[in-house]
Every structure is written in C-alpha cells, then in structure tokens.
Amino acid sequence: MEASILNEETLVLNRSWVAITTTSVRDALTMLFTGNARAIQPDTYETFGFDSWSALAIPPHAPCVRTVSMRIRIPEVVVLTRYGGVPRMTPSFSRRNLFLRDTNTCQYCGKRPGTKELTIDHVLPRSRGGLSSWANCVLACVDCNRRKANRLPSEASMILLKKPACPAWTPIMEVPLMRVRQSWKKFVSDSYWNATLEA
C-alpha cells in the first residue's frame, strides 16, 4: 500500500448525512471494515459495506489501495452508521477563513475588488487595544482601510455591513482547498465553494 494514498482525506458524514469532519483514507477503510461507517458512491448516493465496496470494479487510473490479495477503491465519502451528532468545533481564525466568512467582500463599501486589493481591518485598531479575532476583524478594500485609518468606524463615519462574528461552519472548512475532492460538493455547504482565494 502506498502511504501517500492512505494519508489522503476522506469526507465523513454523520448518520443524518451532514458533513462533520474528514479523516485519512486509512482510518476510513478501518471504519468500513469494523462496520462503523459505509462508503458512499457520490454519483448515485448508494452505500456499501466493506465487502461490497472492496468487490466494486475499479475504473482505469482511479486511485486505489493495493494489498497482497486485492485492490480497493479509495472511499472519498463515508457515512457513519451510529453517530448522528455534530461536533462542536470553532473554525480557526486565519486569513483564509476570514476571506471565506466575508466572501471576498469589503465589509464597509460592499465591493469585491479581488483578493489582492483586500486587507484585514481591525474594527477596534490594534494600537487602541483591538485583538485579532473573529469579533474584531473584517475584510476592507484598500480605499476603505485607508479612509478608516486608526479610528473606529463611527469616528470615520463608516458603517459595517454586518457585525463580525465567528462563522458557524462544519469542520470541513478546515481542509485546505487543494485537498478537497470534487465529489464532496454534494455534501458540503455552498458557502465553502463560493469563496475562492487567489493566494
């Protein structure tokens, strides 16, 4: 077996088919084998246990895990057979997640000039004790950031489009975009896909 394939990501749904996290292909296969999850064929939404999944024909050039006696398709999405909850997890505060939350939009004028023309503004400036947090940071275009400068929005006669807050995302939001599979689109909120960072 190739370690790199086993370390790739598999999307995990709870038994209500809500995306709750990702796991490695290695762990996903273990969950299938123990009966704790079933593999999903994203095109048809059909589910498979370990035996029926490992018996499926593998399309040419499709990634698979090779053992001494068989080849097994990579499960891209699995659904848990027992767990129906959603873990309470807060998305990490990061530049990328801030762009996702604010959908690449200046939170003062509403323009979407492109990621290279957007900056991170501290509503309460850092020089005045403001923290880098979900509740104090917003995206601002260069012009609005320059206009606001080292002031509160009210002092600059500016109004926020919405009050900044921690987004209510599932843990899938923590997966780097380049590692997300196309087949996950059917199971992940559109809010993830509608914001793309150039760099």
148-177 per-position pLDDT tens digit:
999 999 999 999 999 999 987 655 545 555
Could you tell me what percent of the chain has a pLDDT over 70?
84
- Beta carbons of 175 and 145 less than 8 angstroms apart: no
Q: Would you report the helix, strand and coil content of the chain in percent, each value rounded to 5? A: 30, 20, 55
pLDDT higher for 43 or 142? 142
pLDDT at 190 over 80: no
Q: Mean pLDDT over residues 109-136, rounded?
A: 95
Cα separations (Å) of 143 from 3, 41, 123, 199? Answer: 48, 48, 15, 20
Rounded to a whole number of angstroms, the CA Rg of the chain reads: 21
Please give, one letter per residue, the 3-state secondary structure of 117-179. Answer: HEEEEECCCHHHCCCCCCCCEEEEEHHHHHHHCCCCCCCCCCCCCCCCCCCCCCHHHHCCHHH
C-beta separation of 13 from 85 below 8 A? no
pLDDT tens for 1-54 read 456 888 888 999 988 888 888 889 999 999 999 999 999 998 899 999 999 999
Q: Report the CATH fold assignment for 95-148.
A: DNA Binding (I), subunit A (1.10.30)
Any idea where the domains of the chain sit in the sequence? 3-80, 95-148
